[in-house]
Structure 1
């Protein structure tokens, strides 16, 4: 594994019209198989400076997604951690909303897989400020995407002892980052509709 820290915009190779149309036809034909996102671990830890989240997500891609990735179409994932204070008299109050973005792309020249991670959306027109890692296989890259360790999701000042607070965690494939033609074909296709959600009562952790 090789690690690189990117601080400047890089242009990604665009897919040819033939490739995009071919993938769109595959989507329109309804090609698909069992796939999904499984959350095998989700826990939080309260430290003096705030709340930290760790998770283990298992990703099993459908054949349409893998075909797109094999042809160097980048695929994006998003982890979202919201902390809300429940109120019986009104809608829940959002105390914290943190997101982590992942971009996985095949590099044809090196035959390796590049994973970019950032706290900001990663646009294909430029990777911006993101943390980059390279892997020899797609499986290794996806395993790295699914390992979330000590992610700070709230400062201590954002936590309110004495109130009931909930963590809403969501992990999903972000099809909105696909090329426009693929977005049209992906609409309603199960291979691209991957996600998992979980809630945790933080009352005990917040009150510590």
Structure 2
């Protein structure tokens, strides 16, 4: 038979679904955009800096406060345009973020890692604790000189496009919540932006 802890987790997920079903789609995605994006070409490689602006969707914030961890993914692609075929990906980088609430201490914990936070790569994660949710979100919204490609991957004189994406990773939700979350506006948080660089690193 399933352990008591597993039953408790299942009941919590079902209770969340029932509660959100009653509330309906009262609040959609809300404000979400990349307000600033800059790419530097340096001898070490390409460095991306950006500022994100977003509000957590209603159901996401509710789930966090109920103790359900949320996962987010920040991705960057360096693409070379090809007139005869689809664009060529020259480099790809990802940053994984895990946000959780600790009811006993009433504090928020944010993990950031270059590897998915669901396996052995967790040892590479940087963790920070915050007193307020707004402070944790603020840390997620700042991207400073993130290395997205080595200099050998992208020659400096080559024109490229850098595409940046950020969003909630619904696949990391508990299975019962995944079923109710996909396609519902109260769970949607996605944004993207592209920046074209001419040869030499100039936009």
Question: 2:174 corresponds to which residue?
Answer: 179
Give the Cα separation in 1 of the matches to 2:168 and 2:69.
Answer: 11
CA RMSD of aligned residues (A): 2.2
CA contact (8 A) 2:45 2:147 kept: yes
Q: Is the 8 A contact 1:61 1:191 kept in 2?
A: no
Give yes or no for contact 1:160–1:206 (8 Å, CA) kept in 2. no
Contact 1:36 1:195 (8 Å CA) reproduced: no
C-alpha displacement of 1:66: 1.0
CA contact (8 A) 2:64 2:100 kept: yes
Asked whether the equivalents of residues 73 and 97 of structure 2 are also in contact (C-alpha less than 8 Å), the reply is yes
Q: In structure 2, do the counterparts of structure 1 residues 205 and 184 end up closer, same or farther at CA, with 3 Å as the change threshold?
A: farther
2:42 is the counterpart of 1:47: yes
Could you say what secondary structure the match of 2:152 adopts? helix
Any gaps of 5 or more consecutive residues in structure 2?
Answer: none
Q: TM-score, normalised by structure 2?
A: 0.88
Decide whether aligned partners of structure 1 residues 78 and 36 sit closer, same or farther in structure 2, where only a CA change above 3 A counts: farther
Moved more, 196-205 or 104-113: 196-205
Task: Indicate the residue corresponding to 1:112 in structure 2.
Answer: 107
Deviation of 1:125 (Å): 9.8
Shift of 1:72: 1.0
1:100 maps to: 95
Q: Could you give the per-residue CA deviations for residues 80-117 of structure 1, whole angstroms, max 9, x where no partner exists?
A: 00001111011211100000010000011211000000
CA displacement at 1:124 relative to structure 2: 8.3
Residue in 2 that maps onto 1:153: 148
Alignment TM-score, normalising by the size of structure 1:
0.86
- In the TM superposition, residue 128 of structure 1 has moved relative to its aligned partner by 3.6
**Distance verdict in 2 for CA 1:183–1:128, change over 3 Å:** farther
2:86 is aligned to: 91
Contact 1:82 1:94 survives alignment (8 Å): yes
Count of equivalent residues: 196
Cα distance in 1, alignment partners of residues 120 and 159 from structure 2: 42
Q: Is 1:121 the counterpart of 2:116 in the alignment?
A: yes
